[in-house]
Structure 1
Amino acid sequence: MMITLTTDFGLQDPYVAQMKGVILSLNPTVTIVDVTHQIPPQSVMQASFALGISFFYFPTGTVHVAVVDPGVGTQRRGIIISALGHLFVGPDNGIFSFVLERAKGNYRAVHISHIPPIPHPQSSTFHGRDVFAPVSAILAMGTEITEFGPEIGDVNLTPLGKPVREGNTIRGNVIYIDRFGNAITNISQEDIPGPFTVQYAVRKKKKIKLAPFYQGAEGGLACLFNSAGFLELFSPMGHAAEMFGIKYGDLVRVILSPRTDLSMPCA
């Protein structure tokens, strides 16, 4: 069996290693895969997006642990979700919203109230290590989710802010910025009805052009539909977010005009 980890812990500190140590102490044969530990601190929705575009590449039955947890130590619940053939473990703070959007209401969830024994005192501020790691280790052995607590039907879902169309304009937002400075929006190819040519405007209504690949004038701003199918702003050979001041949550407008060739940049 396999466990994935998605956190905002970074790689400088020992926190990720401690989680892995607990998992392997309880389940020595499990395979652990890091999705990412570079989520910006407390950015629950960026973690939700990263997991939401990654989990389905793993084998059915994989256990996915996600820990971006500003509310650790409060009354917020720890949960397990069974959806789309996968298991998800983490805080009930909206971190699984992208996953559950895909599930379209077809899921089961439990409130974690039974935690497997661990050989060290449980911390109130490190549930990643002391709650979610041991739970995931035992889940990966094939344990039924109801062994960990009662089923619930009120999982916390954060509105994903779907793009809005008004006339020939689609308004969306930047929802993720990767380490290359590429700014990924919540506008997907499915949101743009073809055949149309598209103009984009971000921040000071700077128009940018659709590029079929990572091409274009060095230092300029361009965009394409990335491998996950979302509209992405990028700068060839540059860091678009830094160069153009693009930030998480920024408004992005797509202007539609009837044309028959989507592969060509608009004039």
Structure 2
Amino acid sequence: MAIITLTTDFGYKDHFVGVIKGAIYSELADAKIVDISNEISPFNIPECAYILKNSYKSFPKGTIHIVGVDSEPTPENQHIAILVDGHYFITANNGVIGLITSEITPEKVVEINIPNPEHGSFPVLDVFVKVACHIARGGTLEVVGKLFNKLKDIREFAPRITENGNGIVGSVIYIDNFGNVITNIERHTFEAYRKGRDFILNARNKKITKIYNKYSDIINFDLEKDRRNGPGDLLALFNSSNYIELAIYKSDLNTVGGASTLLGLDYRDTITIDFK
């Protein structure tokens, strides 16, 4: 039986996640359901896209991903099912898989059109669960919809190149549980325009001139402990997804704070890089 994952902004206070799982088990008693995240910020498509991109590849091919963020259907927000990179995604056409399809061409995309659909306020339950169970039983996408070629993308994921390649203007796309700030500037974009030059990364009133590959790289272990950088110090690094991330070493939002709070950065705030 295929794995079915859930990525939603439903949280856990309400009954929604439990009801979805109950409906899947009612149709497929031996289903395997995995929560990727049900704590996406409400209607935050870029945040959902970032989490989905960085999680789906850890699952085996054939996994079915239900995406319940901004899922109410409208003439401009169609329900779609997609086969891309060997994975199935059931979502609304709101750009949420734009990060994946910008790099990998989908094998098939259909606009969902199942018989006698419910038209209530809970389409993830009424539509997405039915489609996921159909696929899990070995059903094809052609049975649940017609071919579709109008996928939306997400403009927030494209940083701007300025001054004839001498600068990059990026933005904050995600803030994680530690308060680390993830930007939309990827390593390959940074290196393509850097061309070996020095640079200054500007984040509010902070200027950073070095980007590390892991958090502990900020520490020079050859120095005495009282002379080293350490917990509470700001750094930039290429994170595991190869995006530029700003972090406070060993941060804790409940005590010392994180990069987001200490720098005063929030979703869509600007980060700039100047090459010298």
Aligned residue in 1 for 2:142: 146
Q: 1:186 is aligned with what amino acid?
A: N
The count of corresponding residues between Structure 1 and Structure 2 is 250
Contact 2:203–2:272 under 8 Å retained in 1: yes
Aligned to 2:21, the other structure's residue is in SS state helix
Name the CA distance, whole Å, in 2 between partners of 1:109 and 1:12: 33
TM-score by length of 2: 0.83
Aligned 1:182-261 pairs, distance under 5 A: 182-193=180-191, 194-204=195-205, 206-208=206-208, 209-215=210-216, 216-238=229-251, 239-257=258-276
**Runs ≥4 in structure 1, deviation > 4 angstroms?**
none
Picking from 159, 162, 171, the partner of 1:163 is 159
Name the CA distance, whole Å, in 2 between partners of 1:241 and 1:116: 47
Aligned to 2:178, the other structure's residue is in SS state coil
**Unaligned 5+ residue runs, structure 2?**
217-228, 252-257
Contact 2:173–2:184 under 8 Å retained in 1: yes
Name the CA distance, whole Å, in 1 between partners of 2:148 and 2:93: 11
Contact 2:174–2:267 under 8 Å retained in 1: yes
Contact 2:156–2:173 under 8 Å retained in 1: no
**Unaligned 5+ residue runs, structure 1?**
258-267
Q: 1:168 is aligned with what amino acid?
A: N
Q: Aligned pair in 2 of structure 1 residues 3, 198: CA closer, same or farther (>3 Å)?
A: farther
Contact 1:98–1:160 under 8 Å retained in 2: no
User: Following TM superposition, by how much is the alpha carbon of 1:181 offset from its aligned partner in structure 2, in angstroms?
Assistant: 0.6
Contact 2:73–2:79 under 8 Å retained in 1: no
Name the CA distance, whole Å, in 2 between partners of 1:169 and 1:56: 32
Answering whether residue 171 of structure 2 is matched by residue 173 of structure 1, we say: yes
Name the CA distance, whole Å, in 1 between partners of 2:198 and 2:12: 42
Aligned to 1:102, the other structure's residue is in SS state coil
| 1:48-93 Cα shifts (integer Å, max 9, x gaps) | 1111122122111111111111x61544321101111111101111
Structure having the higher helix fraction is 2
User: Following TM superposition, by how much is the alpha carbon of 1:160 offset from its aligned partner in structure 2, in angstroms?
Assistant: 4.2
Aligned residue in 2 for 1:130: 126
Aligned to 2:81, the other structure's residue is in SS state strand
Identical columns (%):
33
| 1:10-53 Cα shifts (integer Å, max 9, x gaps) | 12222111111111111222211111111111101210111112
TM-score by length of 1: 0.86
Name the CA distance, whole Å, in 2 between partners of 1:148 and 1:253: 45
Contact 1:6–1:51 under 8 Å retained in 2: yes
Aligned to 1:150, the other structure's residue is in SS state strand
